[in-house]
Amino acid sequence: MSNVSVLEINESAIAYNLAYFKAKLDKKTKLLAVVKAFSYGSDSVILSKILQKNKVDYLAVAYADEGVLLRKNGINLPVLVLHPQTKNLETLIDYNLEPNIYSLKILNDFIAVCKKKEVKNYSIHLKFNTGLNRLGFSPKDVEKLILKIKTHSEIKIASVFSHLVASEDVSEREFTLHQIKLFTTIKEKVESLLNYQPLFHQLNTSGILNYPEAQFDMVRLGIGIYGFANDSKITKELKNVLSLKSVISQIHTIKKGQSVGYNKGFVAQKETKSATIPIGHADGISRKLGNGVGFVLINNQKANILGNVCMDMIMVDVTNIHCNEGDEVVIFNSQNMIESISSKLKTIPYEFLTLISQRVKRILV
């Protein structure tokens, strides 16, 4: 039997959230949508088809194989690969994917591959490190880097970009403004050295909201697509995209003194009715949610998790809920529930959503 648990992806909510952010952009500002990590734990192919239909300008993935999957499923938008590796550079060219060039080594390796494949003017993207200290060239490398690239007809700069460190944090506003100023300096230097105009971009979701003056030519929208902002007021204005649902497999009556699940995680203090649901830690329901920390909704009522979360199942308390085997179970269906679960796990929605296992079926609603 295939897994009956499903992650519903709401197409109209995606379109709504896209329109919400587009309304905050200048008419000329392009929009890049980030669909890495299975589109933040959803489904990159489903999401990319919707985004393509809604006329975003660019997509971004982390690794080459994520881009290959999109190409094999009919996605023809430009795709930026944020973290290409030397061993995958030929694959990028085979599938018309555009690499982020973040170091001299990856630049030299990519030029060599382009020469071997006899390509000209292949689109690359240059990443500059303005404070995140993760990937990217130093701002002091601009001149020698651009002069080097100009001597190679195999490649052409499609965009130059950087990454904000704390665009959601009001207390780090000064640092963010410093980053934007530094990137502006990089932009001016690049423009003075090139005889064509690449795109420049630095803003992420919270950057779009908090630093609209720094849109440059393009912005990168990630978690905002899925209905989240770093400001709870904005999150309330967005629509929830993802809902995780399952069903009741079996209902048990647990007599006083009897236990439920592994290691007797729950021992009944009084007669208790429990429902078993076919979803567990192999599906992304953390063991930390066991023993009453987490809950599900059954017929709009809270049912606390009993005992330990199993690999493939959870048991929940339905003593006071009228329900039957086969009834629908909601693990989450709102940003509020997703944020609440994330908070209980001492993490953020980004991490919680990407933990939802690929064995949970994705369906478009």
Q: What is the pLDDT of residue 246?
A: 98
> Is residue 262 flagged as an active site residue?
yes
Is residue 290 a contact partner of residue 277, using CB atoms and an 8 Å limit? no
What is the pTM assigned to this prediction?
Answer: 0.95
What class is the 11-230 domain?
Answer: alpha beta
Tens of pLDDT, residues 161-209 = 999 999 999 999 999 999 999 999 999 999 999 999 999 999 999 999 9
Catalytic residue among 36, 127, 187, 245: 36
Catalytic residue among 236, 262, 302, 361: 262
Q: What is the pLDDT of residue 1?
A: 38
Is residue 330 a contact partner of residue 345, using CB atoms and an 8 Å limit? no
Q: Which residues pair with 29 in a beta bridge?
A: none
Q: What is the pLDDT of residue 2?
A: 60
Give the whole-angstrom CA distance, residue 222 versus residue 232. Answer: 16
Domain ranges of the chain: 11-230, 242-364
SS3 call for 143: helix
Segments of the chain with pLDDT less than 70: 1-2
Give the whole-angstrom CA distance, residue 144 versus residue 150. Answer: 10
Q: Which CATH number fits domain 242-364: 3.20.20.140, 3.40.190.10, 2.40.37.10, 3.40.710.10?
A: 2.40.37.10
* DSSP symbol at 214: G
